[in-house]
Amino acid sequence: GLGLYANLRPVRLYPALIDSSTIKAEVLRGTDLVVVRELTGGLYFGERGRRDAGRTAYDTMIYSEHEVERVVHAAFRLARTRRGLVTSVDKANVLECSRLWREVATRVAREYPDVRCEHLLVDACAMHLIRRPATFDVIVTENMFGDILTDEASMLSGSMGMLPSASLGEGRLGLYEPIHGSAPDIAGQGIANPLAAILSAALLLRYSLGLDEEARAIEGAVERALAAGYRTKDIAAPDEPVTGTIAMGDLIVAAVSQ
């Protein structure tokens, strides 16, 4: 309803958390990527239903040229502010929607001669995210693929509790939230990681308010708190002290003001 079609999910490995992931440090080092997930089309919004008295189910993946074009443009504009590489992810060897996706992405790429473009099948991308994550810059993909790949990518940073997101439309309107959902099983225990929510506020400052310096202040505060050894339960090693939700938030407030 808000017309938010581009979901930006940054995955940055903080050096202090390199041992929090189950992946080898030498593989992870230098990881700093953004997944741009298309947010209003695909299987999640296509026609669906049951037939044969409920014994057969179907979901329909549908994309228009316009939907693909606008999110791919968003990815290329973002890559221009980063390291200049867009990886477009599809399943063009099987899906007609993906064949359209690749055609449109290839055409849009010609408008950005200063940005490199590569195409990967989604299964290959899933493998390379674990094998060589530091080689990615901006990944752009359709709705369901983006949903799955970003959950996989969260393990690069050590926890889903570290990953913010920005859902953007035309203009400066945006919606900002952690990529994880609610966690009713730990509600009220003071052990939830607030850093993804705090980092989402940094994205709000950057993308909706144009306050990049202020965004960097929050991100720097998070990095300093982690470098000082503070850890919530999800990113703490078995022998490390655990910082609670409120205490971690207070630490970031203090670090921002330094």
Please enumerate in sequence order all residues whose Cβ is within 8 A of that of 16, keeping only pairs 6 or more positions apart, or say none: 223, 226, 227, 229
Which amino acid is it at 113?
Answer: P
Residues 108 and 141 sit within 8 Å (Cβ to Cβ): no
Rounded Cα gap, residues 91 and 101, in angstroms = 9
- 32 catalytic residue (yes or no): no
- 24 catalytic residue (yes or no): no
- Report CA 87 to chain centroid distance, whole Å: 14
Residues 57 and 43 sit within 8 Å (Cβ to Cβ): no
Rounded Cα gap, residues 82 and 89, in angstroms = 19
Both tokens assigned to 34: 């953004």
Q: What are the C-alpha distances in Å from 201 to residues 164, 214, 216?
A: 8, 10, 11
- Options 90, 137, 147, 234, the catalytic residue: 147
Rounded Cα gap, residues 97 and 5, in angstroms = 17
- 176 catalytic residue (yes or no): no
Rounded Cα gap, residues 54 and 33, in angstroms = 42
- Options 19, 123, 212, 250, the catalytic residue: 123
- Options 90, 91, 112, 230, the catalytic residue: 91
Which amino acid is it at 73?
Answer: H
- 19 catalytic residue (yes or no): no
The catalytic residue positions are 44, 91, 123, 147, 151
